[in-house]
Chain A
Amino acid sequence: MTFRLNIDFEEKIMKNGLNFKRYEDNLINIEHKIIIEKNTIQKKNNKYEKDNEVI
């Protein structure tokens, strides 16, 4: 599967600035990554017993 962007459009995007959001430099450091994993694993273990939290 391949994506092809129109070259003009692509250049326009490049010129206007790409909204890069990389994992490494986008607010999320290693400690945060660990919290995310912990949250997800903890929740998975209780999935049948507990009600979903409400946001």
Chain B
Amino acid sequence: MSKTITISPTSRQEGHATLSLEVDDEGIVTSGRYYSITPVRGIEKMVVGKRPESAPVLVQRICGVCPVTHTLASVEAIDDSLKIDVPKTGQMLREICLNAHMINSHAIHHFLVAPDFVPEDDYRQTVKNVSEIRKQAQYVEDVIGGEGIHPSDIRIGGMAHNITKNTKNKIKTRISGLMGLLEKHVEQMAGYIEAKDFPENLGVHAQPVLATSNTYGSRQNISLQSIQEIMPNSWYSDKYTAQEDEEYADETMKTAKRIGKTACSQIPLYDSTPVETGPRARANKYRRFKDKGAKAQHLARAQEMINSAERIIELVDKIDPSAQTMAKYTIEGTNRLGVGVIEGPRGTNLHTARISPEGFITEYNCIVPTTWNIPTMGMATEGTHYKYAPDVIRAYDPCLSCATHMVVVDDESKEVLKDDMVQL
């Protein structure tokens, strides 16, 4: 007989989430549901009615772990809406900043997941390596973005300033110098993952993988027409008819209904199905990496750090310190929907923005990496013992504050958690 096991809140994650797992007599997960219970901030609504310059500054506060990603997605969306052509050097600086952030953020991810597979004796050294990697990557974010956390110099139209010849050399020296440690770190992580006695096929799912670029993000490689967002109350309980709903026939249905009312993230679908996005998806599409499951996630993430470092070295050589980095523009919108797509550490980050002719934001929406991954991660817990389910989640995407966009509001009594879901 199946029973439901609830793990709430799940641990070693940014934000709060719940795992609700239906398991059989042997403890094997037959149905996995994973959902965010992080409180809503309503940032997409806050930017409506404000000048476009406010949007990158506000939306980067969606997350302190990947603010660069949100800033870039925001400026890309507004650039697109206002039809601004960013100068080539500005675009390259944006990409260098993102790739430095990728290394930094993957290192943080390793810090979070290390207790899952790094042997106790090696843990201290692993954390030291992670700290050193982060220090060098953060330096690049600092000098290009203005600040490592919540960068101020990534602007609509390009970058606020170019880098000097001296800074260019420093970036190249630091990242080239980091390559040895990165390669050693990746090799060690791969060894630990391989040696860990995770069950075969842990974290495997059958959903498609979504990626738009190897190192930056491309709005040309995603179709807005293929995307749908579903309310969580419908997704988690959609197999029950309205009649059954009234009867509340069994415990399973009650659980599904409760989850639907509690979950704070909508369910995005691409071509009518949930997808996985992130390092393994990019590796699958652009680097012929076909492994599946939780181990493959860790491996793809580690290898991507080297991929990003190589891209920084390649791009920094091409930077002309005397070139223009900002486009000249006027904020006169045409109500055109601008699309910004950035491949962040956790996956494809999609922001859309609309600017009125008067120069104010009239519509803003984010479909962030974790939102894409949430339904897929639940499915990835299925087929193995429930005690491994948190390991699967951490392997995929342990970041939730960005994914939270929903709250339940009762229109009449103004009480929350009642009848209708509101996207914020």
Contact = CB atoms under 8 A, between A and B. Distances in A.
Interface of A: 1-5, 7, 9-10, 13-14, 16, 18-24, 26-28, 32-33, 35-37, 39-40, 43-48, 50-55
Nearest to A33: B238
B208 A1 contact: no
The 3 closest A-B pairs by CB, nearest first: A23-B234, A47-B206, A43-B206
Nearest to A50: B206
Contacts, number: 115
B284 A13 contact: no
Contacts of A23: 230-231, 233-235, 238
Interface residues on B, range: 35 or more
Contacts of A16: 45, 48-49
Contact of B229 (A18, A21, A43): A21
Given A2-B416, A9-B42, A54-B285, A18 B208 contact: no
Interface stretch (B159-167, B266-274, B320-328, B332-340): B266-274
Q: What DSSP secondary structure best describes chain A's contact surface?
A: loop
A4 B91 CA distance: 41
> Which of A20, A36, A45 counts the most B-chain CB atoms under 10 A from its CB?
A36
Interface in B392-424: 407-409, 411, 414, 416-417, 420-424
Nearest to B223: A55
B42 A54 contact: no
A40 to B, nearest CB: 6
A18 B422 contact: yes
A44 B414 contact: no
Nearest to B231: A23
A52 B284 contact: yes
Given A3-B407, A47-B383, A39 B45 contact: no
B417 to A, nearest CB: 6
